[in-house]
Amino acid sequence: MVRKLPFMAALLLLVSLSARAQDKLEMFGGYSYQRVDNSPSFNLNGWEFSGQYKWTSWLGGVADFDGHYGSPSGFSTSTHNYLFGPQVSWPARVSPFAHVLIGAAHVNVGGGSDTSFSTAIGGGIDARLVPGIYWRVIQGDYIYTHYFGSTQNNARLSTGIVFRF
């Protein structure tokens, strides 16, 4: 029994640490649609991936990455955003959230490319499916970019699966 005591103490410590770390990390991945404000405006389809570390139950830091692709007007086009910032959320079975993100964006259009400062302001709603797994019912963002000397006011809508650890 004395020999098992250190093992049981270590096991108890690990269980308590994992309970404290519950829902500290969040990973999202899914489908994303982007409406690009240009002359003419066009639609792109792609993916979005984000990770969040929660400092408190309602405040965290987010790293958000996406890629959107298409061939509007016959030109192969891709856009990518690399965004970071704070996110506030209401921890519940159905959990709304809002964020303000800043970073960079890159576009390739028919062989030409440009990189721009980018911001995203938006939010969404996550709904719990089972403990630790949520469905991001919707995420909507206004995304500002400035490609090729012209301002774009883009819209992004996303949906997918969220894992909380």
Residue 101 within any structural domain of the chain? yes
Question: How many domains would you assign to the chain?
Answer: 1
Q: Rounded distance, CA 1 to CA 36, Å? A: 67
Give pTM, 2 decimals.
Answer: 0.84
Q: Are 162 and 133 spatial neighbours (Cβ–Cβ below 8 Å)?
A: yes
**Within-domain flag for 19:** no
- Domain assignment present for 9: no
Q: Which of 13, 22, 69 is nearest to 44 (CA)?
A: 69
Range of the domain at 49: 24-164
Counting residues of the chain whose pLDDT is more than 70, the rounded percentage is 87
pLDDT > 90? residue 48: yes
Q: Tell me the pLDDT tens digit for each residue of 6-24.
A: 555 555 544 444 444 467 9
